[in-house]
Homo-oligomer: A and B are copies of this chain.
Amino acid sequence: MEPIDSLIFPRWIIPVVPAGKRLLDHALAIRAGKIVALCPRQEAESRFLAKENIALPNHVLIPGFVNAHTHAAMTLLRGIADDLPLMEWLNEHIWPRELRWVDEHFVRVGTRLAVAEMLRCGTTCFNDMYFHPDVAAATVREIGIRAALGLIFVDFPTPWATSPEEYFEKNTHLLQSMPADDHITWLLAPHAPYSVSNDMFEQIGDLSARHKLKIHLHLHETQAEINESLDRYQQRPLARLKQIGLVNDRLIAVHMVHCDEDELTVMANSGAGIVHCPQSNMKLASGFAPVKQFLDASISLALGTDGAASNNDLDMLGEMRTAALLAKGVAGDPEVLTAEQALAMATIEGARVIGLDSVIGSLEPGKWADLVAIDLSAPETQPVYDPVAQIIYAADRQQISDVWVGGKHLLADRQLTTIDWPSLAGEVADWQIKLSQPL
């Protein structure tokens, strides 16, 4: 018998790759944090000798979600200002508070709160953009989740840096002092076309090419962004970035709500990825992204919740449901973005867009054991004709019972194993008092 660490026996396994597969009464074997095999229950029992056997008789096992666009620490600002236009929300509520309050402690507590929520919601890897990414990295390592962290660039002073030189200095220093590893992938994160100059974009392009780093930025989120760019640069933002040389397979374009036919071709030919954030786009009334067109053009399309300050949660189950429902409504076609495709967006496509699809995003031997078990025995998900339909259209986050990252059991029967929630809740409460102070 082959010695391994864990053998998991769920009711169903959905490996995501290959697409369309539903494995009934199979087992998943883990050794040294990686998936060793998926095989029928009896074969697993005779082949493997596991240190622990985990029975999940009512559960479906899927790859962990890749939340492809977050601002994790902003979770501390969840619900502080809702039902407002984007610029009023930013200018009058978010930015003044960030300027006054964001420091390393804010990022540590906010990121911990976000990771607590994400693990409880089945996210095993997130692609983040926020200040003090070094603090986020330390937090990610402490807790044991996985993240792609953006080194932030903005063309004005923020809590991270005060001049273009300082952004480059701090970010390149970080790249050297905290090298990437199995849990942390570094990306470059220029905030948006309207907040980053051509000079800065050019240097970011050089850095990206030199270090083979992906570039994570907000792009074509609102019509106002496009209009402002036309005024200032006589170009739409995508055209401007293309001219600077940034539209290639290292680009991660978040939102792309507005995308005409030529731009669709540019995106498809470039190999760039898109991150769709439907709830954020609806809440801020940014518009509806042309999801059917992205899929038809075979563009890599990932899914993100955006930050909890605007969204107001980090729940990929809810985001998949919204994406699947909205794409049908927008296209006027109920066959667009099936449950199957929504699950792929939230897993393997997310991994692909951030460049980690060779190691995560599906349940395949050799990949990290980043796993989520969802209990479908609740009234809300009974009966079960198809577990994938139940995941997308009926299950909710509290049915996620167990989560593993690299084979480590970070959520065990709804309990976080590497986060002390009562102590964290106290820190969150302290921050709430500070952040509630009048501006």
Binding site for B on A (CB under 8 A): 76, 78-80, 82-86, 89, 113, 116-117, 120-121, 279, 281-288, 308, 311-315, 318, 321-322, 324-326, 328-329, 331-336, 338-339, 377, 379-386, 389-390, 393-394, 396-399, 421, 424-425, 428-429, 431-432, 435-436
Task: List, sorted by A's number, 6 A–B pairs whose CB atoms are closer than 8 Å.
Answer: A79-B386, A82-B386, A281-B329, A285-B336, A318-B321, A379-B425
Q: Are B82 and A383 in contact (CB under 8 A)?
A: no
Q: Are B80 and A379 in contact (CB under 8 A)?
A: no
Query: By DSSP majority rule, is chain A's interface helix, strand, loop, or mixed?
Result: helix
The complex places the Cα of A306 from the Cα of B263 at a distance, in Å, of: 38
Given contacts A328-B285, A335-B84, contact A397 B380 (CB under 8 A): yes
Which residues of B have CB within 8 Å of A314?
380
Given contacts A85-B335, A377-B425, contact A76 B283 (CB under 8 A): no
> How far, in Å, is A100 (CB) from chain B's closest CB?
16
Q: Please tell me how many copies of the chain the complex holds.
A: 2
Name the residue on B nearest A380 (C-beta): B117
Q: Are A334 and B84 in contact (CB under 8 A)?
A: yes
Q: Are B431 and A383 in contact (CB under 8 A)?
A: yes
Q: Are B329 and A288 in contact (CB under 8 A)?
A: yes
The complex places the Cα of A329 from the Cα of B324 at a distance, in Å, of: 16
The complex places the Cα of A382 from the Cα of B425 at a distance, in Å, of: 8
The complex places the Cα of A429 from the Cα of B283 at a distance, in Å, of: 39
Q: Are B325 and A428 in contact (CB under 8 A)?
A: no
Name the residue on B nearest A86 (C-beta): B334
> How far, in Å, is A437 (CB) from chain B's closest CB?
12
Of A79, A284, A377, chain B has the most CB atoms within 10 Å of the CB of A79
Which residues of B have CB within 8 Å of A399?
398
The complex places the Cα of A284 from the Cα of B327 at a distance, in Å, of: 11
Which residues of B have CB within 8 Å of A393?
79, 82, 283, 311-313
Contacts A82-B338, A396-B396 known; list 10 others, CB within 8 Å.
A80-B385, A84-B335, A282-B325, A287-B329, A287-B332, A308-B394, A313-B393, A383-B429, A397-B398, A398-B399
> How far, in Å, is A228 (CB) from chain B's closest CB?
17
The complex places the Cα of A315 from the Cα of B83 at a distance, in Å, of: 22
> How far, in Å, is A10 (CB) from chain B's closest CB?
18
Q: Are B120 and A380 in contact (CB under 8 A)?
A: yes
> How far, in Å, is A177 (CB) from chain B's closest CB?
31
Which residues of B have CB within 8 Å of A383?
76, 78-79, 428-429, 431-432, 435
Which residues of B have CB within 8 Å of A282?
325-326, 328-329
The complex places the Cα of A329 from the Cα of B325 at a distance, in Å, of: 14
Q: Are A421 and B379 in contact (CB under 8 A)?
A: yes
Which residues of B have CB within 8 Å of A381?
78
Which residues of B have CB within 8 Å of A331?
285
The complex places the Cα of A432 from the Cα of B382 at a distance, in Å, of: 9
> How far, in Å, is A416 (CB) from chain B's closest CB?
9
> How far, in Å, is A98 (CB) from chain B's closest CB?
15
The complex places the Cα of A2 from the Cα of B95 at a distance, in Å, of: 52
Name the residue on B nearest A83 (C-beta): B338
The complex places the Cα of A80 from the Cα of B384 at a distance, in Å, of: 8
The complex places the Cα of A379 from the Cα of B321 at a distance, in Å, of: 21
Name the residue on B nearest A114 (C-beta): B379
Q: Are A313 and B394 in contact (CB under 8 A)?
A: yes
Given contacts A79-B393, A332-B287, A428-B382, contact A325 B279 (CB under 8 A): yes
Kindly identify which residue among B315, B335, B385 contacts A432, using a CB–CB cutoff of 8 Å.
B385
Which residues of B have CB within 8 Å of A397?
380, 396, 398
Kindly identify which residue among B83, B312, B325 contacts A334, using a CB–CB cutoff of 8 Å.
B83
Q: Are A380 and B329 in contact (CB under 8 A)?
A: no
Name the residue on B nearest A284 (C-beta): B334
Kindly identify which residue among B313, B339, B384, B432 contacts A83, using a CB–CB cutoff of 8 Å.
B339
The complex places the Cα of A328 from the Cα of B283 at a distance, in Å, of: 6
> How far, in Å, is A131 (CB) from chain B's closest CB?
19
The complex places the Cα of A341 from the Cα of B430 at a distance, in Å, of: 30
Name the residue on B nearest A336 (C-beta): B285
> How far, in Å, is A6 (CB) from chain B's closest CB?
26
The complex places the Cα of A313 from the Cα of B381 at a distance, in Å, of: 8
Which residues of B have CB within 8 Å of A318?
318, 321, 396
